[in-house]
């Protein structure tokens, strides 16, 4: 469990390395304006943990929650090309 948690944290935090250049090149966000996006990313992670943790503890339906999250991500990624 500790190893998986560690790898998950490294993967999530490793994304910060590439987020600023991607926002600057394809998102049209200047270097000085990246901070609000990083804040939104971090707050989304915290809020997601606060909501998902108790939800799984209460219902015990990890599979349903993971399927819902993955489905939402697939739809969000699928819609990205339509946004411009």
Tally the domains of the chain: 1
When mean pLDDT is compared across 2-6, 35-39, 69-73, the lowest value belongs to 35-39
The tokens for 40 are: 């939104």
Report the mean per-residue pLDDT for the chain: 82
On whether residue 79 sits in a domain, the answer given is: no
Whether the pLDDT of residue 68 is over 80: the answer is yes
User: Residue with structure tokens 């090309």?
Assistant: 81
Domain holding 37, by residue range, is 2-59
On whether residue 69 sits in a domain, the answer given is: no
On whether residue 55 sits in a domain, the answer given is: yes
Task: Output the CA–CA distances (angstroms, integers) from residue 54 to 3, 9, 43, 48, in the order listed.
Answer: 22, 20, 17, 10
On whether residue 82 sits in a domain, the answer given is: no
On whether residue 20 sits in a domain, the answer given is: yes
Task: Tell me how far the alpha carbon of residue 65 is from its chain's centroid.
Answer: 15
Tell me the per-residue pLDDT of 9-50, one tens digit each, with 9 for 90 and over: 888 778 777 777 877 777 777 777 888 888 888 898 888 888
Closest CA to 37 of 52, 16, 51: 16
On whether residue 72 sits in a domain, the answer given is: no
Write down the pLDDT at residue 84: 63
The tokens for 39 are: 């804040």
């Amino acid at each position: 469990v500790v190893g998986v948690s560690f790898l998950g944290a490294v993967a999530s935090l490793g994304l910060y390395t590439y987020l600023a250049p991607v926002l600057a090149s394809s998102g049209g966000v200047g270097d000085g304006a990246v901070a609000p996006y990083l804040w939104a990313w971090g707050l989304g992670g915290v809020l997601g943990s606060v909501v998902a943790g108790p939800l799984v503890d209460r219902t015990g339906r990890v599979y349903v929650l993971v399927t819902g999250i993955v489905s939402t991500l697939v739809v969000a990624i699928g819609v990205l090309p339509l946004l411009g």
